[in-house]
Amino acid sequence: MIAYFEKQLAEFDRSIHSLDEQVFGRWVDEAVDTLRSGHKIIVSGLGKNVPICDKFVGSLVSMGLDASFLHTNSAVHGDMGIVKDGDMVIILTKSGETEESIYLAELLKKRNVNLWLLTFEKDSTLAGKIANSVVLTLGHEGDLWNIMPNNSTTINLIVLQGLAMMIADRMGLTREDFLRNHPGGAIGRKNH
């Protein structure tokens, strides 16, 4: 059993090391600029990426930063109302070919937003349409058939949590900023 986990950890390591640090650094800079200028960060995804988006938004909100989740399917049925000029919108899609994500990107490009993509396919339709693309490599999903979103969603979580932590660092957020918004549970009991 340990061999399975070691194989997946090696896959995570390869994928994370494929990250273009210059592009990621620009992403952090622009996210900080977005928040400091009074705008929000919105992340959009489908399927198994939905809880990944929720976790990222939850991390930002718990630090007092303005963030929202936009379900890719619901976006075109009125939920795009959360998107305002000056916001940063991040689309998650493994393939870069998901029809709903392509449609959403086309609609968002008509708005005054800073559009970003997190994907695993550099030659995809969305990577071609969205200039701000963080493209990672992925050799295998870690399931029996190499199709189930296992490793890709885990890597998306790692990258987005890294983005959240870099934003917090750059904005000079403190432990107290976090604790102020987290008075409940074991964290709240331990620190109040």
- Sorting pLDDT into bands at 50, 70 and 90, what band is 182? confident
> Taking the domain 2-184, which CATH number applies?
3.40.50.10490
DSSP characters over 99-131: HHHHHHHHHHTTSS-EEEEEES-TTSHHHHH-S
Pairing of strands 114-119, 132-135: parallel
Convert the pLDDT of each residue in 107-152 to its tens digit: 999 999 999 999 999 999 999 999 999 999 999 999 999 999 999 9
Enumerate the domain spans of the chain: 2-184
The 3-state secondary structure of 34-70 reads HHHCCCCEEEEECHHHHHHHHHHHHHHHHCCCCEEEE
- Residue 84 has which token pair? 């305002």
Between residues 46 and 190, which one has the greater pLDDT? Answer: 46
- How confident is the model at residue 38, as a pLDDT? 98
- Between CA 122 and CA 46 the distance in angstroms is 19
The pTM for the full model equals 0.95
- How confident is the model at residue 48, as a pLDDT? 96
